[in-house]
Every structure is written in C-alpha cells, then in structure tokens.
Copies of this chain bind each other. A is one copy, B any other.
Amino acid sequence: MRDLFHEELEQINLNLVALGEQIKVALDSATHALLTADLALAEKVIADDSLVDNTQHQLDAQTIDLMARQQPVASDLRALVTSLRMSADLERMGDMAHHIAKLARMRYPATAVPPELLLTIQEMGRVASKICEKATGIIKSRDTEAAKSLEKDDDEMDILHRKLFATLLDEKWAHGIETAIDMTLIGRYYERFADHAVSISRRVYYLVTGQYYSEE
C-alpha cells in the first residue's frame, strides 16, 4: 500500500517537472515573440496556454484523488499539499508567459520593445528562463542548496527591473506614455514569473527541512 502510494507520488512529481518544462518553452517563446514581433509564435503561446491549464487541472485531480484514496500520513499529506501549491505557481507562471505573448500580438507589426530596452528585456527573459529551469530541477532533485541559491537569481531579476524603470524615467525617454505603460506591465510579468519560481523553491526547501530560509 505504501509502495504504491510513493510510486504515485513520484509520478505526480514527474508531472510537475513536465509542467515546469512546458512553461519554460512558453516563456522562451513569449520572450522571442516580444523581442522580434513574431506574430505566429505569439499566437502559439496564447493558444497553448489552455494546454498548460489542462495539464495543471489533471495534475491537481490526480493529487486530490491520491489524497482521497490513500489517506496519507502527515508528512506524505504535506508533500501532496505542496504539490498543489507548486502546480498553482506553475500555472500562474504560464499566465505570465501568456500575458507577454498577448502584448507582443497587440503591438504587431510593430515591435513592442523600443531599441534601448531590447537588451534589458532580453536579459529579463534569460534570467526568468534560467530561474524556471532551476525551479523545475529543484522539484525533481529536492536539492535544498539549489533551492536557496535561487534567491540570487531573483536578485538579478530585481536589478534588471530597476534598470527598466531607470530607462523609462530617463529624460531621454522618447517613446511616450503608451510604450512606458507596456514596459511597466512587461517588467511586472517577468518579475512575478520569477517570484513564483522562487516560491516553488521555498516550498521544496520547507518540505525537505521543515524550516523556512526566507527570513535570513
């Protein structure tokens, strides 16, 4: 009985990892579509978002079903509750990729990002992608050191976010209010994407150690 339970728990974990990989692809595509005004790619991310949502709903149903059938002991129950929370984080990360793609589509055939922000946004996309990949790896490995180190990657995102605002507020900014609004929202989407990945790594850390590291 216990062995079957742990096999199913492992399967749920692998499904979470697969969801994380799916979301990294969505985020990378959304960033590429945004930076190059690639309409077809933006449309693909937008259409695929419902696949992400379906995957997540199935995963949650599987998790709740396992809870109901096996009536797990406290530590196993905590693992399942954590799985539900991580899948909610991943789903929300998918939403952020979706929002980025929608902005790329809205501004097509123009490129939404003005030249002086291309590098900053490209970097935000790169850091977000790295954080997503690491968080997915942490779900798989339960590596608590890797989980802690994700905070540093998130600091990188915060620096880029501040750089974005500095560019918008520079007196040389010549792209008007609409582009400033777009870039404010884009910055927020990447930042939130990274926040959810950090939240996943914190959940894994807590699950493994029973302690928080976020107050350090």
Which residues of chain A have a CB within 8 Å of any CB of chain B?
A: 64, 67-68, 71, 73-74, 77-78, 81, 84-85, 88, 165, 168-169, 173, 177-178, 180-181, 184-185, 188
Contacts and interface: CB of A to CB of B under 8 A. Distances in A.
Contacts of A180: 177, 180-181, 184
Contacts of A67: 67, 77, 81
Nearest to A63: B81
8 contacts: A64-B77, A64-B81, A67-B67, A165-B181, A173-B177, A180-B180, A184-B184, A185-B188
Looking at chain A's contact residues, the main secondary structure is helix
A50 to B, nearest CB: 11
B64 A68 contact: no
Contacts of A85: 84, 88
Contact of A169 (B77, B165, B168, B177): B177
A180 B177 CA distance: 7
Nearest to A74: B68
